[in-house]
């Protein structure tokens, strides 16, 4: 059963907490919304980005395919976070999953905030650039049901493959353990 106040209550909690977070180096504040596939990161991040008036980057646009979690983390660091940390424009390229290569460029709009959501957005190499990491928790059965309902047959053959990447990444980077805020999502129907 869905929690009756998800995601509205969670968005309110995150925004209230985030407003006092300092920007590393006094520049733009970047908030990472992390968690395993199907946990509700996208839904939460959309609400938070809207509430903060921030652009939103989805890690799904940066992964280099089904085996590209770590490459997506590296792309976020080199294309977005490093340039923003120096006050330079940040331009990233969207991965074309059908074509199997990076495609068009996107410039990150100016602003006080940037929200990044997805597996890997709170990785160890990214933390020095982040104002905070929010981890979204949800039960495995709920996550799988929601992810497959969202992405259907496209994702179904890759669920276990992606979960193995998550396992390896989270074991090495200890993102949940390093998260600044943990938000539970007991089973909301949205992704």
Write out pLDDT tens, residues 8-21: 999 999 999 999 99
From residue 81, give the alpha-carbon distance in Å to each of 75, 92, 148, 152, 188: 9, 10, 31, 32, 31
Position 2 scores a pLDDT of 44
Handedness of CA 125, 79, 23, 52 (dihedral sign): negative
- Give the mean pLDDT of 78-98: 95
Task: Provide CB contacts within 8 A for 167, sequence distance 6+.
Answer: none
Please tell me whether residue 71 adopts helix, strand or coil conformation.
helix
Q: Please give the model's pTM, rounded to 2 decimal places.
A: 0.91
Query: What value does the mean pLDDT of the chain take?
Result: 91
pLDDT in tens, 115-163: 999 999 999 999 999 999 999 999 888 887 877 777 667 767 777 888 8
């Amino acid at each position: 059963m869905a929690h009756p106040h998800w995601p509205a209550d969670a968005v309110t909690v995150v925004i209230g907490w985030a407003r006092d977070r300092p920007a590393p180096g006094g520049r733009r504040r970047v908030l990472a919304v992390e968690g395993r596939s199907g946990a509700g990161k996208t839904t939460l991040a959309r609400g938070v980005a809207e509430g903060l008036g921030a652009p939103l980057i989805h890690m799904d646009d940066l992964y280099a395919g089904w085996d590209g979690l770590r490459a997506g983390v590296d792309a976020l660091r080199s294309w977005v976070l490093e340039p923003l940390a120096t006050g330079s424009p940040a331009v990233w390229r969207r991965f074309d999953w059908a074509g199997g290569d990076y495609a068009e460029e996107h410039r990150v709009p100016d602003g006080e905030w940037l929200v990044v959501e997805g597996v890997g957005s709170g990785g160890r190499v990214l933390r020095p650039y982040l104002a905070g990491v929010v981890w979204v928790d949800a039960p495995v059965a709920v996550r799988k049901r929601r992810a497959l309902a969202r992405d259907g047959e496209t994702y179904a053959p890759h669920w276990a493959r992606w979960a193995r990447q998550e396992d390896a990444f989270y074991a090495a980077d200890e993102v949940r353990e390093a998260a600044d805020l943990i938000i539970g999502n007991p089973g909301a129907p949205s992704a």
